[in-house]
Amino acid sequence: MAAFDDRAAAAYEFPAMKKFVAVLALVSTALSMQAKIVTKPVAYVQAGVKLEGWLAYDDARTAGGKLPGVLIVHEWWGLNDYVKGRAEQIAKLGYVAFALDMYGQGIVTTDAKKATELSTPFYGQPLMADRAQAGLDQLLKTGLVDPARVAAIGYCFGGSTVQALAYSGAPLAGIVSFHGGLIPVPADAAAKNKARILICQGAVDPFVSKESRDTFAKAMDDGKFDYQFISYAGAVHAFTNPDADKVAAANGLTGQIGYNAAADRRSWAHMQVFLGEIFAPKQ
């Protein structure tokens, strides 16, 4: 009789469970249909310069509370559609993304000479970290971000910028530099830095010499930084940007900058693992 009762209970519970799972699936589908990636420009000012960044987030996720935030710094071309697209990709991963503006509202270029002119004043100067900090402030001012879980990522010139920002002591859980120049590590950086560091570098990037790599690694080791340095075989400068080959041809830089699909895919995956680690709840 007990066996009969168990079978009867199972016969009842199995359809009920199937119905429950079906309801959960419908709820999940409804939520995903309601969710959307919100993108919008954000105007702000730093040192008298009018700037305009790009904010991106999933409105369904932000409804559940504050999320980790990711600051994004553009290449030396300026805040263009490529970097705005990266902000949307970051938002789809469940983070609040803010692509900052280093040059000034609407200032972008595809000319290497102009890009050099725009980026040069930042290198070796406090302005690099200060302008990046202004962008970080805007990300935090959204009210959507958990200030204890913020990272910064950057491309080329932006990779150098996020290094400078971390060395300044900005409240970052981590930084990721994609094909960025390796800037000198200040003597006081180890004491100030709060960020874990991921460097994603093209193995044959002509703009990053073996000497600068060795100097960087020594500074990291001497300062006991928590860092990773990943090289991607066959990748030159700007390997994450699908438009790199076209821009290279227009500027006489073919062979020096160029897209590498494998390195782009792998570095993006490495970044996701890194962000998952630094944003994980502390045990």
Output the pLDDT for position 47: 96
Angle at 214 between CA 213 and CA 220, to 5 degrees: 90
Q: Give the pTM.
A: 0.88
* Cα(191)–Cα(231) distance, integer angstroms: 27
Write down the architecture of domain 38-278 according to CATH. Answer: 3-Layer(aba) Sandwich (3.40)
How far apart are the C-alpha atoms of 229 and 114, rounded to whole Å?
Answer: 30
Residue 90 CA to residue 86 CA, distance in Å, equals 6
- pLDDT above 90 as % of the chain: 86
Mean pLDDT of 259-280: 98
Per-residue CA distances from 3 to 6, 7, 8, 9, 63 (Å): 5, 6, 9, 10, 48
User: pLDDT: is 5 or 262 the higher one?
Assistant: 262
Average pLDDT over residues 74-81: 98
Which tens digit of pLDDT belongs to each residue from 196-241? Answer: 999 999 999 999 999 999 999 999 999 999 999 999 999 999 999 9
Q: Where are the domains of the chain?
A: 38-278
Mean pLDDT of 113-134: 98
pLDDT for position 282? 74
pLDDT tens digits, one per residue of 125-154: 999 999 999 999 999 999 999 999 999 999
- Whole-number pLDDT of residue 31: 45
Taking each helix axis from N to C end, the angle separating 126-141 and 157-167, rounded to the nearest 10 degrees, works out to 80
**3-class SS of residue 193:** coil
Average pLDDT of every residue of the chain: 91
Report pLDDT digits (tens) over 51-70. 999 999 999 999 989 999 99
Chain segment 227-238, per-residue pLDDT in tens: 999 999 999 999
Confidence tier at 266 by pLDDT (50, 70, 90): very high
pLDDT at 116 over 80: yes
